[in-house]
Amino acid sequence: MADILSVWGLAAVAAAYLIGSLSFAVIVSKFYGLDDPRSYGSGNPGATNVLRSGRKKAAALTLLGDALKGLVAVLLARWLQSHFGLADEVVAAVAVAVLAGHMWPLFFGFKGGKGVATAGGVLLALNPLHGLAVLATWLAVAFLTRYSSLAAITAAFMAPIYWQLFYGIDARALVILFIAALLVWRHRENINRLLKGKESKIGGNKAPKPPKVKYPPPRVGGH
SS3 annotation, the chain: CCCCCCHHHHHHHHHHHHHHCCCHHHHHHHHCCCCCHHHCCCCCCCHHHHHCCCCHHHHHHHHHHHHHHHHHHHHHHHHHHHHHCCCHHHHHHHHHHHHHHHHCCHHHCCCCCCCHHHHHHHHHHHCHHHHHHHHHHHHHHHHHHCCHHHHHHHHHHHHHHHHHHHHCCCHHHHHHHHHHHHHHHHCHHHHHHHHHCCCCCCCCCCCCCCCCCCCCCCCCCCC
* Residues spanned by the domain of 155: 7-196
Is 218 a domain residue? no
Per-residue confidence in pLDDT tens, the chain, 223 aa: 556 557 778 888 999 999 999 999 999 999 989 888 888 887 888 898 898 888 899 999 999 999 999 999 999 999 988 887 888 889 999 999 999 999 999 998 898 999 999 999 999 999 999 999 999 999 999 999 999 999 999 999 999 999 999 998 888 899 999 999 999 999 999 999 999 999 888 866 554 443 443 434 445 554 4
Is 216 a domain residue? no
Is 146 a domain residue? yes
Question: pLDDT value at position 205?
Answer: 58
CA atoms within 13 A on the CB side of 78: 14
What is this structure's pTM?
0.85
Is 211 a domain residue? no
Is 214 a domain residue? no
Is 217 a domain residue? no
Is 2 a domain residue? no
Q: How many domains does the chain have?
A: 1
Is 85 a domain residue? yes
